[in-house]
Structure 1
Amino acid sequence: MASRKSGLKRKKGVTFHDVPDSPGPSEGYIETHTEYTRREGALQSTASTIHIPPSPVKPKTNKLEQPPRPIEQPQFDQPGPDEHVSGAYASSPYDTLWQEDEPDISGNEEDVEGGPRKKQRRTQVNPLIQFTEHADMMLDELLRLEGPGKMEPVCSGCTSTDPSSLYRCRDCVLPCLWCTTCLVKGHKTCFTHRIERWTGTFFECCSLRSLGLRVQLGHGVGGVCPIPRPAVNDVFVVIDSDSIHTIALDFCGCHMTQPASIQLLRARLFPATLTDPHTAATFRVLETFQMLSFTAKTSAYEFLAAVRRRTDNTLGEGIPDRYREFMRMIHEWRHLRLLKRKGRGHDPTGVKGTRLGECVILCPACPLPDINLPDDWGNSNEPWLHALFLAIDANFRLTRRNVSNDAKDPGLNRGYAYIVEETKFKDYLATFGEKIPDDKSTCNNHDAIKSASIRGGRGFSASGLGTVQCSRHDMKRPNGSGDLQKGERYLNMDYFCLTTLEHNIPAMLVISYDIVCQWSVNFVSRCLKYPPNPVGSNPAMNIKYLVPKFHLPAHVQKCRDDFSFNLSSHVGRTDGEAPERGWASSNDLAYSTREMGPGSRRDTLDDCFGDMNWHKATRMAATLASRASEAIHWRQEQVYAWVNFAHTLPRKLRREWTRMVQDWEQGKSSENPFEYENEEVTMSSVRYELAQEEKEDIKAGNVSVVHKEVTPSEFILQALNLEDGIRRHLLAEKGLGTHTTKLKKSEMLEEANHFRRKFVSWEELQRLYMPTVMPHRQSLGEEGKAATQDLQYIRLYLPSEVMSLLVCSEKLAQYEFRYRIAQAHVTLRSLRERLVVRQHMYGSKKRYAHGTEAITRSNKKIETESRRIAELASRYRTIREKLVVLSSVANDTTWQDTLKVLEDEDIQGLTMEDASLRAVGAKERRGRVGAGRRKLTWIWFVTGPRRTEDGMTQDANSGSGEGEDSALSANNEGEGGSESNSEDGSESGESSGPSDEDDPALRVEFCSTRARAHRWQEECLLLEEEMNRVERFWDWDAKQWKDREKLHAQDTIVVLSAEDMQHPELVQRAQLAASELAAGKRAYARRQAQIREDLYQDAVKRHALVRPGLRDIVIFGERMDPRKMVECDSRRKPV
């Protein structure tokens, strides 16, 4: 098989051939191994030979001069090593483990004989297959380490040969044997290493304490204290990452003494208590567990259980139990690290001077006055660029059982970070708990409103956690979170919102909340009743209330129009779902924090939120740059589609609708241009229209009376109601279980008899209005059998069923046609509603259902809802089939543009939480686009028909299209025409006429397409401003740490008072201690400043790559102002 060198061009007169490798080491070889041992003082040697098998190598490629004639390529019977990847491993799920990291460097090269050759990708040898072939060798090496190996039974330090006192250290890198004296001497500073003793036959575990090692604190390495003070009972326990050690520890008791806790801390050991400590944890184990609690969400119990098993995985009864001590140490460790990282150790006021919310990791991209905003931001012509975006939500997974109390576990942070200060919060609840009632809902039956009066359950002190956080960057805010006692009450959520706003009060505020349509109604009036707060004392604050995009479909239509991010101006592409993404990380802490006391839980959540914020803050520059690249692309796409679509309409409509939507955005008009003015098509509306028409016919004398009480339209309506009632009855009957009670069976039988009697009465009317049906029934033997037949066999024989067989009134067929149109629209609305319900059932299950019983109950409800959806889909298909038959008589086919054929893939929800997406992979789900870019299935665009002058139905969606594609197609149809200067606004190449002016669907599509374009333009402007804020923030933060460094300069240290200066030795010692402390503070401040400077430089570098694209927009060859929203109300269109 021929091959070529990758990346090298083929020279003339030269060809390459694969030839067998020359014999050599690859064919195997004999290796001689000699071991030397010392026995009774004499050195002995033992030689052994082993055969080394050939190792897999790739065939060499040799360069040969081109011969006069083509040489045939050599053929080999055995496959080369590169061809071994086959069979089960060739397409196994572990392919990525052995994929080649290097890019393929082969390219299209000109062959000697002419023509390009295809790329040849080298096949990497499967590492798992290689491992399988060498598993015996690796297993032998592991077993070899269990013995002394090459090491002679001689001490590596003093050459002692006593075999009963030889040891080795499992944690030292070099495998050496040591005697007791050398081992203890070499491990004075490594007292947490694990030691093994050679018994002559195997290695057994032992401790350095048993070998006589004593750890001396308070002095340097090798220092000896004249007055050592042993630990309590001469037993001291140290918890390390690999094991729990019992050591012999001596504190310093001489004139250089420091408190025991300080001596331990200077040895990087964290004491469990400050008075006579006898347990400590290494800094390493505390750092390791803290990081594991952030990333793997490991609980302290599980972590300590792993450390105990690492100490002894067989008999662990003798290992000291230090779970309570470890919990206390990690609690204190979290608190100290929080204070340290926010510079409280550098502040002269110390810990007591810490203000509420001071120890948070601020969002570098959010507007922070005096930090990252420009000096003249208050006078900006675009104040919305400096608006603060907040999102409110509650999490009912982060509960807490009714264990411990604030007296026993008060907590350490006390409102310094993300959780509100508990004392003030409880006083607030006690004062206003009864004064602020929850409002009744005027929207759908939301879970958040229902849960407001529901407690967390028996034995729970907190039913969940509420939060108010940044909605554009998913970061927690200072004092923006707190416990819920009785569900998601307005009282709690108001407090979290007002408390976090005290830290920076913006001029404009955008608040998103899943029930904001209810919560916002009396929010300002409630704030006037509370103590002084940023909202009540600032009536000029501009607040915009919106519903997060995922939650919006669960609201009524008016809420979907009034509180939509997609339709509201000056919000960019914000979705408002930031809390939901944050809960995904913090929910893993639910199982460990719900068993904690109140203070420990608050401090643990503070620490977790701080890590989340730091992780996002350090990656903020990369995140914004990535978003900017996406926004640049979609801004171009959406503005192009907007300009294209808008210029297919008459200029008069563009001006009118543009003015309408601008007035609505500026609050000058209460008329929402995104709302349809058409009434929904229902059976009642059609019945009213037909009654009005019959009234006019009666006045005109165009009516032939067939029945005195029942008109033809009522006759058809009764039939449809009967048909629907029988259908519902059959579905209910199908749902009866095997253990249905006799009472339920009797009720079902009585209902069936009721429908039979109604059918008999209606059949008498059918004799009058459809006389040709009776002979047809007689021919089929169905006449008079309704009383004995099952309901499922009763047939009505309406015009849609018998038009092809019998002669019937065209007027009746037209009546049925109009009623069927209404039925189809009602069925589609019901289908959409059930899809939304099912979506939120999935969300509720994921959020609230835990345990087998709850999950099983949720699954049954979801299964029931899925059956309802399937039944509605089947009913719609049946109705549409009847409409196809009736449309020939009604002479109307325009309904088919709206009421399309319903395929299974059309039955999709509005969001990615739909059931159909749960079956696809994560990669496919990530590929789905959002509302600003996606195309929903057609069922979500159906708005209903409108009536023309001749009484025919016309599709309200015609001309509006579905999403962006309709704009492009409309433009393509109108291209090529030139615009005229006529005063009536008509333009050649554009559709015009009275139908366009009266078409609400066309107006809504015009406004929606404009909104999509403007949102992406706004997103680009917001991203550019956020990039500027990030750079200013890191620059400001670096200066903060530099200022902290200056506070502890060497010449500003004040150590003792004048009275103490009379003791020179004490002064010198205190001066030395203060100098050491100041040096540590300066070093830490300098390191933190350097980290901020690196983040600043990284942000500048990343942002510089995308800024030109944000500031440049070209549509149809015309460069536009990126800071001005594109409007299409003028006559001129970009060329």
Structure 2
Amino acid sequence: MDMDVDMDNMDMDARDEDASGSRLASIPALPGIQVVAKESAKRYQNSDVPLATWLDYRDEYLDDLMCLEGRGNYQQACAGCNAPFPNFRCKDCTLGALWCQACLVKRHSQSPLHIVEMWNGLFFQQSTLMALGLRVQLSHPPGRFCPTKEPGHKFFAVIDANGIHSIAVNFCRCVHVEHRTQLLRIGWWPATPLEPQTCATMSVLQHVHLLNLQGNITGYSFYRALEYQTDNTGLHRPSDHLPAFMLMAREWRHMKMVKHTGRAFDPGGIKATAPGSLAIPCRACPLPNINLPHGWENVPPERAWLYMLMVTMDANFRLRSKLRGLQSKDPTLMPGWAYFVNNGPYSDFIKDYVDQDEIRTCVGFQALLNMLTKKSKGLHTTGLATMSCTRHQLFRPLSMGDLQKGERQCNMDYLFTSSVAGTVGLRQLAVSYDVGCQWFTNFWRRMPSLPAHLHLPFSVSAVKALVPKFHLQSHEEKCHSPFSFNFFRGAGRAEGEGMEHNWDMLNGHGPSTAEMVPGHRWETLDDCCGWVNWRKTMGLGNLLLKRLLVAIPHAIQTCNDIVALTSSLRAENPDELTAMENELQAWEADKSKPDPYRLPKSNVTLTQVRLVMAEEEKVRAEEGATYVHDVSAGAFLLLGTEIQNLQQTLHHEVSGLQKQTLLQTTFVVEWQTVLLKRVQHFRKIQHIYMPGFNPRYYNNTDVSDSNSNSNTPMMVENTKLYMPSELSASNRRKFCPNGLASLEDRIRFAEASDSLEDLQHHLRTRSFTNKFKIANVTGQRKNTRAREVQHRIDDKVRASELQYRQAQEALKQLRGPGDWEITLKVLEKSDVRALNERELNQEEQDKQYRLRQRLGINVDDMENERVVGQVAAVGEGYRRPLWIWFTSASTAEAMNDPLTRQAIRVEWAKAKARTARWEEEVILLDEEMRRVLQFCDWKAKWWRNLLSLRTPDDNMLSEGLATYTAQQAAQELDIAQNWEAKWKAAVTRRRIMWARARQ
């Protein structure tokens, strides 16, 4: 490729990725790796001037602009020959100097497309170099004229980036060179090869080409802007060359594609271009005989995934094509040479299946699909379908084709096989498709109906269909595990949603390509796909490095998690662990076996939950008060823990009230009164069991005591009791005789264990209730009642959570750090969730809401899905096993419940899959980096070898070919050298960390 390469600002895919920036912030910086954002910020930190500062100078700016309207300081003499009172100036040269006519024409012999102005005594009026006597002589050095010159057409026009010009041209007849060749050799592109009268400079064609690819600026809009730039009044509007300009832009686009792929070196010419050879391949995907290591075919079956090709296909109904009367007369410049398949054989195959129905699906996207395809009147095509590589999102060669009705199997089968049929030698193939569960079911039965050259070289067992992670959530649950990237060996951390990012880059061209005739539309979209592929190719250096920096710590973390989890299960219940392993192996060998990643359906209903809660309340009422208030030491400490629990509950209730009603205020005051009486009773007993301790003198900030003289009352829920765990070690020895601190230690340990079991119980109840509500409860009244039950359960979860934290903190004060913290760890907010659930953050909720709206999925129940318990939950790779379910204190109790036991099995299986996927990601990234560097080396050699294919007689052409190959080969080596240096520190660090983690 001869496109410009900015190695310091390479593109990185927006996809991946997804919140990776925040994760990168927590990774230590590696030596030798430069962060572009930091450098840019440092580079420009002193150059940003506030707009408010500029406002003070804008009058001065305006005065300087007005000075440019006059003749300035150099009006007395010509800048070239010092002739007096010059009258001409050039708007495209440096402003300020004035010239006489002779000097101006001589100076612009090599700049004939500049805009000049003449002073008429009052102001500058626009003139032309042709009117001043300039004639452009072709095929001769500057200043030399052809004795056999042939004047060009008197209305010869040249389109440049600064406007539309009328030029006087002299063609050369000294040598037998066609007019078109003479124009091309000075950088002017002729509108026709026969007697050209209109040209466009290659610079303006390059300009409109890049603006179209990057900014979706159409050729029509660009040309109209040039017209306004030439004459913004409409009084002297130039001749309309729009059709010629659009034709030249199309020809330029085509010639750039064939040039970049080395077609100039083929003795057979452009017509000998092979199908798909103009497409830019993904240099990080496996390419036999190009970037795979020697002996890769002989790797053992369990490692064959390392050389597996992963592709993604999808359809887009925004890139439509309207019926146009001239479509049969428009030639196709490159039929099936890049990303679009050859429409001739493709149409011949599709016409035999005009009555075929669209692919059925088990998800809610069908409504959106029908909405987009039902209005097909006046359309030549309703959209298009294509494929890309899954991990790097580059469009695949020969994978794009038009859709006539919707996503029919005949279209998708043809495009899929067309894209992968040429991958001879690879042993495994994975294809991601949002309705892959339906499309792939009978794929091999439909294979014989395809053309013979599209039959896949893979065996039936070597091809695996998957469903992208986000789309999989809306499928039936039976599709989740068999078609999930999370549980597929060799998938790494791929998510399969890359085509959605690619569509965003192409959809901007939809309005303009819809108006084009088919051939022009195919060429334009082919070029757009090539632009996307090139930008993504040049972003591989940063993309692979970013992914590696994310993958290393997560691979180590998940490896440690599964080791700890498996060790805990083996110690508590080795038979259960063996059963888990056997179940997982059986399912991987045969997907009809019980799914180890799927939770069984619970028959727990809301009515049953309410009954259980009512029975628990009844038992507590029959037992009387929670604690018997006695003067024993145990009763004293139990009273203190009860008061602290009530304080936390009251504090939570009060802080949650934004504006209290009279009834709420009354309730809070009554509760505070009851609590205050208990605190006063506790103080009386405290004098007995903690002799000599006076809370008023111990800490004068405590003013809740009745004897305090402070004028600033403290709320009773904030009163500090000063139990032994709340005192320093020296004060405990002084004020807590007779083993009072040891007694509280035993009480706190029991309290922590009990509250942890209560928390598990309430979380299980909440999980069943939430799932039942989402699946079965509809209507406002039923939803209101269900939410009341959910709120009550949430209150119980919160109470158990607060009680555990309080007991654990007290134990930490009494015992200090120790082995007991392995069992009773610090309870984080993220730990308070049921098995197989993941709490969505706000960013994820917003993203899901937008995506569901766009895809036509119901968004009414989004507020009830703050906790996702599905097998296919997005973000599964970043979950960690919940320690509260795998402590020695809780495992035995959990195994007694069949549903919880199965949930633990699922949690273990998912943790094992997460570990495998992250390990695969690290290994794949290492392999992809090696592939990219090897591809660069191969490509450099490929460019050098092209010179031997063609030996033209024209010395000028030979030198041009040799120069281009040398430039491209040097660019490939420069890319490899830059990326290798960028990756070196990270790869070295990865190997060290990886080796330590696997010891």
Fold-level similarity (TM above 0.5)? yes
Taking the aligned partners of 1:963 and 1:189, their CA distance within structure 2 comes to 62
Q: CA deviation at 1:499?
A: 0.6
CA contact (8 A) 2:313 2:433 kept: yes
| Paired residues for 1:69-468 under 5 Å | 102=42, 126-161=49-84, 163=85, 166-173=87-94, 175-232=96-153, 234-252=154-172, 254-315=173-234, 317-381=236-300, 382-434=303-355, 438=358, 440-441=360-361, 443-447=362-366, 451=370, 454=373, 456-468=375-387
Q: Structure 2 regions of 5+ residues with no counterpart?
A: 1-36, 613-763, 798-830, 854-863
Q: Deviations over 1:668-695 (max 9, x none)?
A: 86322112234554689999x9xxxxxx
Q: Partner of 1:562: helix, strand, or coil?
A: coil
Higher fraction of helix: 2
In 2, Cα distance between equivalents of 1:1013 and 1:400? 46
Q: Is the 8 A contact 2:112 2:136 kept in 1?
A: yes
The answer as to 2:869 corresponding to 1:941 is yes
Task: Give the CA deviation at 1:492.
Answer: 0.8
CA distance in 1 between counterparts of 2:765 and 2:42 reads 63
- Residues 547 and 565 in structure 1, CA contact (< 8 A), matched pair in contact too: yes
Match of 1:1004 in 2: 906
Partner of 2:429: 509
The CA deviation at 1:990 is 7.6
* Alpha-carbon spacing, 1:869–1:412, altered in 2? closer, same or farther (3 Å): farther
Could you tell me whether the CA contact under 8 Å between 1:569 and 1:1015 is conserved in 2?
yes
Residue in structure 2 matched with residue 114 of structure 1 by the alignment: none
Determine helix, strand or coil for the equivalent of 1:480. coil
1:532/1:626 CA distance change after superposition, 3 Å: same
Give me the whole-angstrom Cα distance separating, in 2, the residues matched to 1:823 and 1:1003.
19
CA drift at 1:937: 6.4
Tell me which of 473, 480, 485 is aligned to 1:560: 480
Moved more, 525-534 or 578-587: 525-534
Residue 882 of structure 2 aligns to which amino acid in structure 1? A
Compute the displacement of 1:154 (Å).
2.0
1:484 aligns with 2:406: no
Over residues 293-313 of structure 1, what are the superposed CA-to-partner deviations in whole Å (9 max), with x where a residue is unaligned? 111110111111111111111
Counterpart of 2:488 in structure 1: which amino acid? S
Aligned residue pair count: 756
TM-aligned CA deviation for residue 199 of structure 1: 1.5
Report what 2:919 is aligned to.
Answer: 1017
Question: Which of 1031-1040 and 907-916 deviates more?
Answer: 907-916
Please identify, of 240-249 and 1094-1103, the stretch whose mean Cα deviation from structure 2 is larger. Answer: 1094-1103
1:914 has 2:914 as partner? no
Task: Determine the C-alpha separation between the residues in 2 that align with 1:906 and 1:913.
Answer: 10
**1:500 positional shift:** 0.8
Q: Does 1:1082 align with 2:962?
A: yes
In 2: Cα distance, 1:659 partner to 1:559 partner:
22
Asked if the contact 2:473/2:870 (under 8 Å) is kept, the reply is no
Distance 1:280 1:396, change over 3 A: same
- Given the alignment, which residue of 520, 523, 528 partners 1:600? 520
2:560 aligns to what?
640
Distance in 1 between residues matched to 2:775 and 2:235, nearest whole Å: 61
Q: Does 1:878 align with 2:791?
A: no
Kindly indicate whether the alpha-carbon contact (under 8 Å) linking 1:153 and 1:166 is maintained by their aligned counterparts in 2. Answer: no
Partner Cα separation in structure 2 for residue 199 and residue 453 of structure 1: 61
| In 1, Cα distance between equivalents of 2:335 and 2:395 | 17
- What is the CA distance between 1:569 and its match in structure 2? 2.2
The amino acid across from 1:967 in the alignment is: L
For residues 205 and 103 of structure 1, the distance between their equivalents in structure 2, rounded to whole angstroms, comes to 42
Q: CA deviation at 1:524?
A: 1.3
Q: Residues 878 and 513 from structure 1, CA distance in 2 versus in 1: closer, same or farther, beyond 3 angstroms?
A: same
Work out the CA distance in 2 between the residues paired with 1:403 and 1:907.
49
- Check the 8 A contact 2:766/2:794 in 1, yes or no: no
Residue number in structure 1 paired with 2:928: 1026
Residue of structure 2 equivalent to 1:57 = none
Rounded to whole Å, the distance in 1 between the matches of 2:868 and 2:343 is: 47
Q: 1:140-183 CA distances to partner (integer Å, 9 max, x unpaired)?
A: 2221122111103322222222x4x6211111126321111111
Could you say what secondary structure the match of 1:545 adopts?
strand
Residue 1039 of structure 1 and its aligned partner are, at CA, apart by 0.7
Aligned partners of 1:648 and 1:991 also within 8 Å: no
Instruction: Tell me, in whole angstroms, the C-alpha distance in 1 between the residues paired with 2:217 and 2:229.
Output: 16
1:123 Cα deviation from its structure 2 partner: 10
- The answer to whether the aligner puts 1:471 opposite 2:390 as a matched pair is yes
Distance 2:888 2:41 in 1: 51
Q: Name the counterpart of 1:630.
A: 550
- Which one of the candidate residues 414, 430, 434 is aligned to 1:495? 414
CA-based RMSD: 3.8
Find the counterpart in structure 2 of residue 660 from structure 1. 583
8 Å Cα contact 1:647-1:990 kept in structure 2: no
* Higher Rg of the two aligned structures: 1
SS of corresponding position for 2:388: strand
5+ residue gaps, structure 1:
1-96, 105-121, 690-820, 835-867, 888-896, 920-935, 944-960, 976-987, 1056-1073, 1122-1135
Distance 1:432 1:663 in 2: 40
- Contact 1:405 / 1:598 at 8 angstroms: preserved in 2? no
SS where residue 265 of structure 2 aligns? Answer: coil
State the secondary structure of the residue aligned to 2:98: coil
Contact kept, 8 Å, 1:546 with 1:565, in 2: the verdict is yes
Structure 1 residue aligned with 2:617? none
Q: Residues 363 and 229 (structure 1 numbering): CA distance in 2 closer, same or farther, change over 3 Å? A: same
Partner of 1:582, secondary structure, is helix
* 493, 498, 501: which one aligns with 1:578: 498
Shift of 1:826: 7.3
Tell me if structure 1 keeps the 8 A contact 2:253–2:527. yes
Letter in 1 for 2:975: L
- The alpha-carbon distance between structure 1 residues 937 and 1015, as it changes in their structure 2 partners (threshold 3 A), is farther
| Residue 979 (structure 2) aligns with | 1099
Q: Distance in 1 between matches of 2:580 and 2:306?
A: 26
Residue 498 of structure 1 aligns to a residue in which SS? helix
User: For the residues of structure 2 that align with 1:416 and 1:461, how far apart are their CA atoms?
Assistant: 22
Q: Which one has more relative contact order, counting CA pairs under 8 Å at least 6 apart? A: 2
8 Å contact 1:880–1:899 — kept in the other structure? no
How far residue 220 of structure 1 moved from its aligned partner, in angstroms, is 2.1
Residue 5 of structure 1 corresponds to none
Residue 445 of structure 2: aligned partner: 525
Structure 2 CA distance for partners of 1:452 and 1:176, relative to 1, 3 Å: closer
SS in 1 for 2:397: strand
3-state DSSP of counterpart to 1:913: helix
Asked if 1 retains the 8 angstrom alpha-carbon contact of 2:317 and 2:382, the reply is yes
Secondary structure, in 3 states, of the residue corresponding to 2:486? coil
Contact 1:823/1:879 (8 A) holds in 2: no
1:227 shift after superposition: 2.4
Deviation at 1:536, TM superposition (A): 4.8
Tell me, yes or no, if the aligned pair for 1:475 and 1:613 is still in contact at 8 Å.
yes
